[in-house]
Amino acid sequence: MAESSTSVPPPPDRYDLVRLANGSFSLRSARLGETFHPVIGPVAEAEALYVQQLDLIDRFAKSEGPFVIWDVGLGAAANALTVLKALSAGSGHVEIVSFDHDLDPLRAGYLYRGSLGYFGGFESAVETLLSEGLARFECGGATVLWKLWLGDFPTLLASPSASAWPKPSVILFDAFSPARNPDMWSLPLFTQLFRALDPEKPCALPTYSRSTLMRVTLLLAGFFVGAGEATGEKEETTIAANSLELVASPLGAPWLKRVKNSTSAEPLAGGGYVQRRLSLENWLRLSAHPQFASLIPGSFD
Ligand SMILES: C[S@@+](CC[C@H](N)C(=O)[O-])C[C@H]1O[C@@H](n2cnc3c(N)ncnc32)[C@H](O)[C@@H]1O
């Protein structure tokens, strides 16, 4: 299924507050028809996907130097603030770099902060970030530097300034779905993202998507990839990392076999959402990935 692109700009987005079945609240983009955290809500999802799965408090305690987090798709800051709240139990310096091309979700989230609940204690940090693009504050035992990059993430990442960004230990990757937001899920973008990491600094990138297309994309970009923890919303998510040690359940032969049969495995090239079988060229690259080096040839043919 291809999404057509048109020269007519989309209407400005509106972000509504929606109540989920479990009683928690989330924001919803009226233009895309997508709820930010649709089933278990923003805080529960961020806790499952990042705080618990990555054992974040322990990793923070063991980090040498600032603990750097890239927050791709700041949105209404649920991920950023849930992670900061968790890290407030530790001590040390946190640098969080948030990216978004639109501050309206954060403005809307702040407006609805009473219902969303997770802004408590961070009000002045959020106001400062919105007005100055940078906030410094203390959060429990942690000192925090929170910086905002406003703009199209693929363009920012390709810009010369990207080489000066502090190298992350964690990436919170939370764009809209690949079907609605294809430019944020393309192979060129993830290849650039992988190259922007410090190979000497282990970095994990959990994401809610478990689609074959996404997992192939992450592997071809250079990441090691495994099944991620359930979030309550999905029985399985995905975790990618530049170090195999950070991936508890790496994808193996059974998954590779499924790729061959999938009708939606070819990575997005950056020109819209197109679902296709994996090309022979990419199949050969995929099966040569170091993650699959120990597999017996023929076991996934
Ligand atoms: C699902 S929302 C993120 C929710 C957010 N992480 C939170 O915790 O509230 C996706 C976000 O990605 C942002 N986004 C989408 N495409 C983008 C792009 N090309 N560059 C930068 N940000 C983008 C949207 O503006 C939106 O705020």
Residue 74 sits at the vertex; the CA angle it makes with 217 and 239, to the nearest 5 degrees, is 35
Please tell me the distance between residue 169's alpha carbon and the centre of ligand 1 in angstroms: 20
Please tell me the distance between residue 49's alpha carbon and the centre of ligand 1 in angstroms: 17
Which segment of 63-77, 179-193, 226-240, 272-286 scores lowest on mean pLDDT? 226-240
Is residue 7 scored above 60 in pLDDT?
Answer: no
| Predicted local confidence at residue 3, as pLDDT | 36
Is residue 196 scored above 60 in pLDDT?
Answer: yes
Using DSSP's 3-state secondary structure scheme, residue 260 falls into: helix
Each domain of the chain, given as residue ranges in start order, spans 38-292
- Mean pLDDT to the nearest integer, 24-36: 91
pLDDT band at residue 5, thresholds of 50, 70 and 90? very low
Is residue 4 scored above 50 in pLDDT?
Answer: no
Please tell me the distance between residue 178's alpha carbon and the centre of ligand 1 in angstroms: 12
| Predicted local confidence at residue 2, as pLDDT | 34
CA separation for the pair 206, 227 (Å, rounded): 10
- Mean pLDDT to the nearest integer, 33-38: 88
Enter the pTM of the model.
0.93
| Predicted local confidence at residue 37, as pLDDT | 85
Q: Are strands 170-173 and 67-72 parallel, antiparallel or unpaired?
A: parallel
| Predicted local confidence at residue 40, as pLDDT | 86
Q: Are 25 and 19 in contact (CB under 8 A)?
A: yes
Percent of the chain scored above 90 by pLDDT? 83
Is residue 150 scored above 50 in pLDDT?
Answer: yes
CA separation for the pair 280, 290 (Å, rounded): 18
One-letter amino acid of 96: I
Kindly state the helix (H) or strand (E) to which residue 184 belongs, with its residue range.
Answer: none
CA separation for the pair 183, 270 (Å, rounded): 5
Whose Cα sits closest to atom 21 in ligand 1?
100
Residue 71 CA: nearest ligand 1 atom is 6
Q: State pLDDT tens for residues 103-128.
A: 999 999 999 999 999 999 999 999 99
Name the CA dihedral angle for 286, 292, 296, 299, rounded to a multiple of 10 degrees.
Answer: -60
Question: Residue 21 CB: number of other CB atoms within 10 A?
Answer: 9
Pocket test for ligand 1, best of 152, 174, 177 (most atoms within 8 A of CB): 174
CA separation for the pair 175, 92 (Å, rounded): 29
Whose Cα sits closest to atom 26 in ligand 1?
75
Please tell me the distance between residue 175's alpha carbon and the centre of ligand 1 in angstroms: 5
Is residue 223 scored above 50 in pLDDT?
Answer: yes
Please name every residue paired with 15 in a beta bridge, in sequence order, or none if there are none.
29
Between 1.10.357.10, 1.10.1750.10, 3.40.50.150, 3.40.50.300, what CATH number should domain 38-292 receive? 3.40.50.150
Residue 109 CA: nearest ligand 1 atom is 9
Kindly state the helix (H) or strand (E) to which residue 207 belongs, with its residue range.
Answer: strand 204-207
Q: Are 13 and 31 in contact (CB under 8 A)?
A: yes
The alpha carbon of residue 218 and the mean position of all alpha carbons in its chain are separated, in whole angstroms, by 12
Please tell me the distance between residue 182's alpha carbon and the centre of ligand 1 in angstroms: 12
Is residue 233 scored above 70 in pLDDT?
Answer: no
The residues, any chain, with a CB within 8 Å of residue 159's CB and separated by 6 or more, are: none
Q: State pLDDT tens for residues 259-276.
A: 999 999 999 998 899 999
Instruction: Give the residue from 150, 137, 179, 164 showing the smallest Cα distance to 71.
Output: 150
pLDDT band at residue 11, thresholds of 50, 70 and 90? low
The residues, any chain, with a CB within 8 Å of residue 280's CB and separated by 6 or more, are: none
Residue 102 sits at the vertex; the CA angle it makes with 122 and 139, to the nearest 5 degrees, is 15
- Mean pLDDT to the nearest integer, 147-161: 97
Q: State pLDDT tens for residues 65-109.
A: 999 999 999 999 999 999 999 999 999 999 999 999 999 999 999
CA separation for the pair 206, 202 (Å, rounded): 13
CA separation for the pair 29, 108 (Å, rounded): 11
| Predicted local confidence at residue 93, as pLDDT | 98
Pocket of ligand 1 (CB under 6 A): 36, 42, 73, 75-79, 99-102, 105, 152-153, 174-176, 181, 183-184
* Per-residue b or e along 201-236, where b marks 16 or more CB atoms closer than 10 Å to that residue's CB: ebbbbbbbbebbbbbbbbbbbbbbbbbbbebebbee
Residue 76 CA: nearest ligand 1 atom is 9
